[in-house]
Amino acid sequence: MINVKKTLHVGMIGSGFMGKCHANAFRAFGGLFDSPISIELYKIADINDELAAQSARTLGFEHSTSDWKALVDDPLVDIVSIAAPNALHEEIALRAIDRGKTVYCEKPLSVSTESARKMMLAVEAAGVANLVGFNFLRNPLIAVCRDMIASGKLGEIISFKGRHAENYMLNESLPHSFRTDPAGGGAVADIGSHIVSMARYLLGGISEVTARSRTIHRSRPVTLGSAELAPVEVDDLAHAILQFDSGVVGSIDVNWMSTGRSMDLSFEVTGTRGAVSFSQERMNELHIWEAGKSAGYGGFKKIETGPDHPPYGNFCPAAGHHLGFNDLKVIEVSELIDTVLTGKSNFTDFREGYRVQCAIDAILRSTKSGHWEKVAGD
Amino acid sequence: MINVKKTLHVGMIGSGFMGKCHANAFRAFGGLFDSPISIELYKIADINDELAAQSARTLGFEHSTSDWKALVDDPLVDIVSIAAPNALHEEIALRAIDRGKTVYCEKPLSVSTESARKMMLAVEAAGVANLVGFNFLRNPLIAVCRDMIASGKLGEIISFKGRHAENYMLNESLPHSFRTDPAGGGAVADIGSHIVSMARYLLGGISEVTARSRTIHRSRPVTLGSAELAPVEVDDLAHAILQFDSGVVGSIDVNWMSTGRSMDLSFEVTGTRGAVSFSQERMNELHIWEAGKSAGYGGFKKIETGPDHPPYGNFCPAAGHHLGFNDLKVIEVSELIDTVLTGKSNFTDFREGYRVQCAIDAILRSTKSGHWEKVAGD
Amino acid sequence: MINVKKTLHVGMIGSGFMGKCHANAFRAFGGLFDSPISIELYKIADINDELAAQSARTLGFEHSTSDWKALVDDPLVDIVSIAAPNALHEEIALRAIDRGKTVYCEKPLSVSTESARKMMLAVEAAGVANLVGFNFLRNPLIAVCRDMIASGKLGEIISFKGRHAENYMLNESLPHSFRTDPAGGGAVADIGSHIVSMARYLLGGISEVTARSRTIHRSRPVTLGSAELAPVEVDDLAHAILQFDSGVVGSIDVNWMSTGRSMDLSFEVTGTRGAVSFSQERMNELHIWEAGKSAGYGGFKKIETGPDHPPYGNFCPAAGHHLGFNDLKVIEVSELIDTVLTGKSNFTDFREGYRVQCAIDAILRSTKSGHWEKVAGD
Amino acid sequence: MINVKKTLHVGMIGSGFMGKCHANAFRAFGGLFDSPISIELYKIADINDELAAQSARTLGFEHSTSDWKALVDDPLVDIVSIAAPNALHEEIALRAIDRGKTVYCEKPLSVSTESARKMMLAVEAAGVANLVGFNFLRNPLIAVCRDMIASGKLGEIISFKGRHAENYMLNESLPHSFRTDPAGGGAVADIGSHIVSMARYLLGGISEVTARSRTIHRSRPVTLGSAELAPVEVDDLAHAILQFDSGVVGSIDVNWMSTGRSMDLSFEVTGTRGAVSFSQERMNELHIWEAGKSAGYGGFKKIETGPDHPPYGNFCPAAGHHLGFNDLKVIEVSELIDTVLTGKSNFTDFREGYRVQCAIDAILRSTKSGHWEKVAGD
């Protein structure tokens, strides 16, 4: 276990959507979780001094820098929070690992399985605390699902149907970006990882997949507003069948131009004695079906989040008051701190980040080969 | 076209779930649809005289017989309604076609593609009116979906996600029956045809599929209550990816032991300018999303069935009063009568019944081969 | 009890929305319910010979007449089905009662409490079978609600919240009609009776009410399309508080110009150990909450109609296949036939029709007096 | 306007449910809102030194004290945040007003209208910034409702149906507390204020009310676990009809032992051209109906919160990611800061707090008098 101090200093790299989300979660943690650890928003790095300084002001960091390497090397930094573009994850993480820092990396772990594997091996060799940001798994109701599955309440699990559908790439005038970069881009890689990580969290390993993808917008502007178009080489959507290690068969669809859907990360897990149905669109409710009801009184029951679903009670003592998206990140930070304190790996450690990437990689390979593809993984 | 009379005499074979449903639909038709045709529940056939006579009394037929061939041959019979076990469909239909009768056959058309093809060729050669009972397609809201797709309101269609999930085979003490007969049995064949016919109705032809199935209850009693078990050779559930002729990719799952689901025939069709989402669990509402709303005011809209969705007005002059499952069969009968009157084929004619079977067949072949399989069809 | 024959001949007066609904229900009954009684659609009366003859053809009656009195007097007529304008109910019913016929009267029983009382007294003096058409109470799921309340499953009932909201009078160019006739017209009288009858069915007698109503469209065309407007003297909407005999307090709102609502007959009944929530908008599902679940696993459960909720099984042997609005009327007819056969009053007999009217009357009196008003009733 | 500084020091009194909620909101504000003001969690007061010190540690305040008067008097304190028991609100607020502090008081403003009126007059005389914590009004979707109403999108408003139902007092072994204190206790006063403030926010002033309430648990233990019971004098639930200044009539029900409901603050506002329907149970979605859709395509539309609904974008740049209950409090704090900066009153200033209390008071008077009661207010 790494050296635990009373106050942990966070050094963060990147200040976009996820950077802001990390910063707010770190700030909120202290007031919501009764922890021996207090967290200091110590230093933030961004691509130039101005942006970094501005982000520091806005997000509440004490210091700023345009030199992320210096941030990582700063001996006061305990936790390196990586919210930088995916292509930089490896380099940053390897340096942070080398300096013995706790590494908190946004998903996906990296842009390729090879890269992710290198990061995983490094972090395990060094023995530093580490966590990948799969925030949707932090929902207390997802823990309820997992418990119901693990405890046998649902009987033998027989089927999984999942989806991650958003619409943020629907507009064809949206230009190329890291999202459409053949290295690590595409809907499957970008948001497919959410439903794949969810499937793995609930049902365990995936051994084999078959899939078909489509590119709908076959070209996009090279930059915003540009008349010059360049071809798109990544998928806009895909359908896949998943073979789990346990024998369960499931299917998912992934779509980043799913008209009308802004956050349909949803699934149904079917067992011989029960079922659970969830959509992030209504993240504060879970629908469960349990065998054994008297005739005519069976049905899916809508459970609302509440203090009986830890750590909901840290946010509110009364049921039904709703957690929000940002609260999930606070829970994630609390799990990161747990990992630091106890030395025990969180489920979504770098190894898990790597395995998710292997499944994503197999899906992408299958869309090209037209065959079932084995999921690598060690 | 066949000889149209003022009164058409129905001869029905079989009096189970679907037989009763047919009979009620034929009886209700006259009061709900203003048609030049009136229908007479003339004769019913079942496996023995007693059962046939009792069914005649209960369902309101004038005559009964245990000799279905005599029923088919009876010159007074205009419409042969086939609600007998699937394995008998071919023989009955071929005889009825030969006698020049209108043939109304419950789905699936037959137990194999070869058999279905023979029936299709016979019916087309004879030129008799014919229809296969895919009742879920008769929902006026499904017509709304089809119109929205066909008219381009949804833009270019890019994805399909479907499901047919029930739970009637969940109980492992349910014995073997035609449902588990390797010839034509299994969840994919039995209820998969509903979601496949829906997919075809909305999006057109399916050219290729890949699938994986599972048998959960690997043996069942040979008869109800028997201690003797025999192995089950058909699927309990399957997941499949569908490649449509149009280029659209979709996926479905089919499950007849889907805990908690009694009628989840559901789908979402996604286009570049809109989407429709439907479940038979709430068959009187359709959720649609249309592009072009002012910012902040977009969302899925819940449409309730009403007189603007023909032929709902035949059932009720006021919106929101709900059609039921049995009403769908009345609409189907009205379409059958239209076919008789106009000589124009209904969408779900024997050719369509055959094509659905070809898709089902390809799915089943793929579950065995592990490869993408072409869907036959001519 | 009246003379029970093998075949009962129906004589119907009126062929509008409800007339058609009655006719279809009578026709469907025989095929769905295994009864010693068979029903014949014998004769229909309407305002002139042509309309009556046409209705007979369309709805399947053998005979027609423009003389309703002759129909009532016809010795072959066993059941007089009253689907005529409300203002005629009394005269028709009294004559039918006098002739010893079974009387089946659409709701509301009449246009005033005095008139309804006269009908009730007459029917009880004559001892003829009688029933008022409160079709929404026939939903098998409403029986589930009633059972849960009556059996104590919900504990002590403590609150009722109800509503009947439709939008059929929203358009201000709709002209005056019986609906806006000060004698028996207005939203409270027209559709308020649905939620009041529901409340009484579930919770028992109402002793006192207070209410406020509003007339939104203060004038309407005297006839369709006319430029001449006449003032509207009846209510468009009202809110009321109900004091039940049992001590329970509830509230309802009634609105016939409820934008967006086509059939929101809904309620929630709250007890100390459970609650039920229902809306006719989703008439095939009931949401129930029961005490005693393990912590974190409580919630409203969605029950879907099925064979465990009689007489659903008469319509379909499989759960989740949905009843429709017209099916409710078939169940009502089956209850009418039960009354004829057994001689036992149905819950919605003329006495109940009268009592509903008394509650409606008290609500209307309160909207004028501004005070709590006692509900009359004997 | 008060003296605006770069950093505002918060002095908070009370550290229960709402105290924690305030503290977290103050802490989160800086990272989410780009404001010229930064906030310091300066000092917290509680009933004794130990509890105060512990709360300071947990919630992140620099200083603590058991002397709330000293806290109020501390010249460094800019904002006095009142999360103390309701009975103390007046004394604390009056002192804070006297010292010229910004006063942020949890709802209800006080335990009686007289007390609330005194506070209102004092705050207005002193001209200090002030706000009452009606957090549910801060939901960006409630602003959408208000805009739709105010802009005329819904046409003329004709009806309001509302409810606040929770179940936290269902258990009869819960002892007496401030909640059952005849001075300011009862369901109507405790949570009725939420739906009343919502009604006023959306539809304006309430002039008159009539109501009936019930006490279900007629006695409760004097303290937790005590065998000694004392009678309960306050209401457990009530139904009320509201007459708005605008002419609109509405009704509400309030219930703190509403089995199955943990946060059903819900309402439907009906206008002649549209309607909005909302429940806090699904606080991230709003259901709207708008006139003018083509026939057959109308229906309630489900809007999900997103960046088009400010200040959602401060929390997340992507739609559909859900705000939580605690986020509403952050928005409230941002409105408090706006009030401080601009000197313009927020809608929920002390005057509004007083008026809500006047409406509550009239409801309670009506439950005793049995008559319509005028709502006081100046």
d(CA B350, CA B138): 16
A223-236 residue pLDDT tens: 999 999 999 999 99
Residues in chain B with CB shorter than 8 Å from the CB of C138 are none
Looking at residue A237, its pLDDT comes to 98
Question: Which candidate in A157, A242, A269, A270 is best for mutational testing of the B interface (most B CBs within 10 A)?
Answer: A270
Question: Is B300 within 8 Å of chain D by CB?
Answer: yes
How far C106 CA sits from the closest chain B CA (Å)?
16
- Strands C130-133 and C102-106 come out as parallel
Question: Is A251 within 8 Å of chain B by CB?
Answer: yes
Looking at residue D295, its pLDDT comes to 84
- Cβ distance A302 to C306 less than 8 Å, yes or no, reads no
- Cβ distance C317 to B166 less than 8 Å, yes or no, reads no
Of C142, C125, C197, residue with least CA distance to C309: C142
d(CA B206, CA C114): 67
Question: Which candidate in B18, B304, B321 is best for mutational testing of the C interface (most C CBs within 10 A)?
Answer: B321
Looking at residue B377, its pLDDT comes to 76
Residues in chain D with CB shorter than 8 Å from the CB of A263 are 304, 318-322
* Rg (alpha carbons) of chain C, rounded to whole number: 21
From residue D137, give the alpha-carbon distance in Å to each of B53, D249, D331: 68, 21, 10
Q: Is residue A108 very low, low, confident or very high in pLDDT (cuts 50, 70, 90)?
A: very high
Residue D230, exposed/middle/buried by CB under 10 A (0-12, 13-18, 19+)? middle
Question: Is B226 within 8 Å of chain A by CB?
Answer: no
Question: Is A147 within 8 Å of chain C by CB?
Answer: no
How far B337 CA sits from the closest chain A CA (Å)?
38
Q: Which residues contact C218 (CB under 8 A, 6 or more apart)?
A: C231, C232
- Cβ distance B297 to D301 less than 8 Å, yes or no, reads yes
Q: Could you tell me which chain B residue has the CA closest to the CA of C61?
A: B31
Q: Could you tell me which chain A residue has the CA closest to the CA of B156?
A: A216
Question: Is C320 within 8 Å of chain A by CB?
Answer: no
B250-275 residue pLDDT tens: 999 999 999 999 999 999 999 999 99
How far D308 CA sits from the closest chain A CA (Å)?
13
Looking at residue D378, its pLDDT comes to 67
Q: Whole-model pTM?
A: 0.96
Of C14, C12, C109, C175, residue with least CA distance to C361: C109
D178-222 residue pLDDT tens: 999 999 999 999 999 999 999 999 999 999 999 999 999 999 999
Average pLDDT over residues B117-121: 98
How far D152 CA sits from the closest chain C CA (Å)?
14
Neighbours of chain A (3+ CB pairs under 8 A): B, C, D
Average pLDDT over residues C177-206: 96
Q: Is the peptide bond before D311 cis (omega within 30 degrees of 0)?
A: yes
- Total CB pairs under 8 A between chain B and D: 41
Which residue type is seen at B95?
Answer: R
From residue C335, give the alpha-carbon distance in Å to each of C132, C140, C346: 11, 12, 7
d(CA C361, CA C356): 9
Question: Is A372 within 8 Å of chain B by CB?
Answer: yes
How far D110 CA sits from the closest chain B CA (Å)?
37
Mean pLDDT value across chain A = 96
What are the two backbone dihedrals, phi and then psi, of residue D219, each rounded to the nearest 5 degrees? -145, 155
Question: Is B377 within 8 Å of chain A by CB?
Answer: no
- Cβ distance D288 to B298 less than 8 Å, yes or no, reads no
Of C51, A27, A239, D103, residue with least CA distance to B270: A239
- Total CB pairs under 8 A between chain B and C: 117
How far B49 CA sits from the closest chain D CA (Å)?
49
- Cβ distance D301 to B304 less than 8 Å, yes or no, reads no
Question: Which candidate in D22, D136, D263 is best for mutational testing of the A interface (most A CBs within 10 A)?
Answer: D263
Dihedral of the CA atoms A220, A222, A226, A227 (nearest 10)?
-60
Q: Is the pLDDT of residue D279 over 80?
A: yes
SS (H, E, C) B341-363: HHCCCCCCCHHHHHHHHHHHHHH
Question: Which candidate in B61, B284, B308, B331 is best for mutational testing of the C interface (most C CBs within 10 A)?
Answer: B284
Average pLDDT over residues D49-67: 95
Average pLDDT over residues B156-162: 98
Question: Is C303 within 8 Å of chain A by CB?
Answer: yes
D111-160 residue pLDDT tens: 999 999 999 999 999 999 999 999 999 999 999 999 999 999 999 999 99
Q: In what order do the strands lie in the sheet with D7-13?
A: D63-65, D38-45, D7-13, D79-82, D102-106, D130-133
Looking at residue B3, its pLDDT comes to 42
Question: Which candidate in B148, B154, B277, B303 is best for mutational testing of the D interface (most D CBs within 10 A)?
Answer: B303
How far C25 CA sits from the closest chain D CA (Å)?
27
Looking at residue B294, its pLDDT comes to 81
Residue D88, exposed/middle/buried by CB under 10 A (0-12, 13-18, 19+)? middle
What are the two backbone dihedrals, phi and then psi, of residue C110, each rounded to the nearest 5 degrees? -155, -170
Average pLDDT over residues D229-235: 97
Residues in chain B with CB shorter than 8 Å from the CB of C32 are 24
Helix residue ranges, H only, C132-255: 140-150, 187-190, 192-203
D63-91 residue pLDDT tens: 999 999 999 999 999 999 999 999 999 99
DSSP letter at D254 equals: E
Average pLDDT over residues C217-237: 97
Of B72, B80, B76, B81, residue with least CA distance to B16: B81
Q: Is the pLDDT of residue A3 over 70?
A: no
How far A131 CA sits from the closest chain C CA (Å)?
28
Average pLDDT over residues D226-243: 98
Q: Could you tell me which chain D residue has the CA closest to the CA of B319?
A: D296
Q: Is residue D62 very low, low, confident or very high in pLDDT (cuts 50, 70, 90)?
A: very high
Residues in chain A with CB shorter than 8 Å from the CB of C278 are none
A152-193 residue pLDDT tens: 999 999 999 999 999 999 999 999 999 999 999 999 999 999
Looking at residue A2, its pLDDT comes to 43
From residue A265, give the alpha-carbon distance in Å to each of A192, A198, A255, C366: 10, 9, 10, 52
Question: Is B275 within 8 Å of chain A by CB?
Answer: yes
Question: Which candidate in D209, D251, D282 is best for mutational testing of the C interface (most C CBs within 10 A)?
Answer: D251
Which residue type is seen at D352?
Answer: E
Name the residue with higher pLDDT: B62 or D295: B62
- Strands B79-82 and B7-13 come out as parallel
The 10 Å Cβ neighbour count of residue B182 is 10
Q: Which two tokens stand for residue B106?
A: 């419950």
Looking at residue A216, its pLDDT comes to 97
% of chain D surpassing 90 pLDDT: 96
Q: What ipTM was estimated for this complex?
A: 0.96
Distance of CA D57 to the CA centre of its chain: 27
Of C376, C294, C350, residue with least CA distance to C126: C350
- Cβ distance B21 to C166 less than 8 Å, yes or no, reads no
Neighbours of chain C (3+ CB pairs under 8 A): A, B, D
Q: Which two tokens stand for residue B203?
A: 């999006």
Candidate from A262, A281, A315 with C-beta closest to D318: A262
Neighbours of chain D (3+ CB pairs under 8 A): A, B, C
Q: Could you tell me which chain D residue has the CA closest to the CA of A321?
A: D325
* Rg (alpha carbons) of chain B, rounded to whole number: 21
Q: Is residue D303 very low, low, confident or very high in pLDDT (cuts 50, 70, 90)?
A: very high
- Cβ distance C303 to A306 less than 8 Å, yes or no, reads no
Give C83-105 as a DSSP string. -S-GGGHHHHHHHHHHTT-EEEE
The SS3 call for residue C303 is: strand
% of chain D surpassing 70 pLDDT: 98
Of A322, C289, C276, residue with least CA distance to D281: A322
Looking at residue A294, its pLDDT comes to 80
Neighbours of chain B (3+ CB pairs under 8 A): A, C, D
Of B311, A206, A60, residue with least CA distance to A12: A60
- Cβ distance D308 to B302 less than 8 Å, yes or no, reads no
- Cβ distance D260 to C237 less than 8 Å, yes or no, reads no
Residues in chain B with CB shorter than 8 Å from the CB of A261 are 275
Mean pLDDT value across chain D = 96
C340-357 residue pLDDT tens: 999 999 999 999 999 999
- Cβ distance D302 to B301 less than 8 Å, yes or no, reads yes
- Cβ distance D259 to C243 less than 8 Å, yes or no, reads no
Average pLDDT over residues A350-366: 98
DSSP letter at A135 equals: G
